[in-house]
Structure 1
Amino acid sequence: MKETITYIFRKPDPKFKSIEGVFNHIKAMIGLQTKTSTMHLKSLGGGLSTLWSNVSTFKRDKDTIYHITGDVHYMALVTGKKTVLTIHDVNSILKRDVIKKLYLKLFWFWLPAICVKRITVISNFTKLELEKIIPFAKHKISVVNNPVNELFAFSDYNFNQSQPRILLIGTKPNKNLEMVLKALSTIPSEIVLIGKPTDVQKKLVATLDLNFESRFNLSINEVVEEFKKSDLLCFASTYEGFGMPIIEAQAVGRPVITSNLGAMKEVAADTAYLVNPHDLNSIRLGVKEIIENRPLRQDLIKKGLQNVERFKSENVAKEYMHIYRDVSSGN
């Protein structure tokens, strides 16, 4: 393939690293087969001035296949037909008032879908959501799962049944943190949150008198260590485009509790304990079952390690390489 694959990222922001983590890893794998490069945009945000700043300063190279890695979908307006666009989720972007929703649909979905050659999404759940927004471009959409970072490797441990260390991820509304904390309030445990809690969440922790700590602004190696130090992951979100912590915990060899909804159910399949994230008792029962049922824990760990195989970097890189070749050949 003669073209360079150039990955377009949003302007770096220490608060948001997930897309960068995923695609830097993919870029490294693709780079073993063909020439790659990286482009970071100069302006951050979603307003018209930001769009104009990023779009107007872009210079297209005809010998390049551009891959917009997410968040800045509007760059498809200037990257040309040889472009792959990855869309990570739909609903979290469109939860706005009517005018803002129309603006986002236009510049984040409708126009980019017309301009690009191929669109990738990270789950079948997201594909179904996206098809409702851009039915005219359904034929361009392919599912390519996110790869698990190889730093998340199996680490054996002894489960602490008397006071397990329960790992929680994220503080945004969809992470369902308040409900999860209430569910854990009657279970002797050590609760570790990766993320900076809001003032409201801090007050709730104090009210519930939990054995709780939060850690944030962590390096990827520090995040991996938190997974390894945990006894289980409780990831009962109400909405995810994918749910990467599920796979990361399974790769490390930890049992996972997650939601019986959407992408999380799809990603976990039958390899995690599924709960209703809107039902406090369902979450609580799931955690208790993991703590008290040793054969169940062992079974989930075994199935989880098997599940991780489909998210290995080399498999994901092969799927993207196939897409790049199609774009290169004009298919």
Structure 2
Amino acid sequence: MIEAASAALGEGRGGEPPSLASLSAQGIGVSSAGDWIALLKPRVMTLVVFTGLVGLLVAPGHLHPILAFTAVLCIAVGAGAAGAINMWYDRDIDAVMRRTKNRPIPAGRIRAGEALGFGVTLAVASVLVMGLATNALAAAVLALSIAFYVFVYTMWLKRRTPQNIVIGGAAGAFPPVIGWAAVTGGLDVMPVLMFAIIFFWTPPHFWALSLWAHTDYQRAGVPMLPVVAGATETRRQIVLYTLLLVPLSLLPWMLHQTGAIYGLSALVLGLGFLASVWRVARDRQDAAGVSLTGDAPAKAAFKFSILYLFVLFAALAVDRMIG
């Protein structure tokens, strides 16, 4: 049904997607369950849920399995709610970016107001349930993470500064802190270190993406670093943040918060990440604004960065459980 509706809509002149105004005028709103799930940014949610789960697993103490599942579910729902509100706010730029023009709102399958209501409802519900199931601190940090992503990153920073992803990246660093707080009701050195690792991981991860998608951001008027400062400076910043990230990732082991399993894993993964970004630094394929190919070093580094964080946090969980 959705495919038929999309075919009936057709495309605008020049092969561009239909405008939001034309979609609204036609009253388009045909959606499926998959569209509502897409609003939650499930790929992003996967990483958020995993790091939140690791925060919960490595925390000292015990949480009943049902309550632990509820806490992780609240982290997932809260992250999805922030993603839905982000899609509502960014629907204008999503419509002109190749990567995002088929999202449910710019494609006309979900109305903007419905998406906003959906996101706000899930956000409020996730915080309330987290507070009832665990404790006030976990609920407060969850609320802070949602508010930070929506108001600080999406509404304030994203369209104003190339440092948007540096400061705004804090939103994605909260989940392990939430998981830890759900178990302990407090904070300690370890959740701060987990937060810092994700915080410093975010810029090289996202700037690698922006290198091979810079034309999209340029078209939408989003001041990502490659658009504002150029590819060469972006590569330099990617290397710089990775050089900061690798020793930082070793701190949990150096401070005796973890054992050798994590320490060795962090070292090997860090060297792999450095090798990946070094290839990005040496690449000049996009020096003249030429579109990057599918196997470009920037795209490879982006993919490796996701693997890096997954394996690093998995090693942390295994190390703490065995230890």
Same-fold call, TM > 0.5?
Answer: no
Normalising by structure 2, report the TM-score.
0.30
Normalising by structure 1, report the TM-score.
0.29
Question: Higher strand proportion, which one?
Answer: 1
Question: Higher helix proportion, which one?
Answer: 2
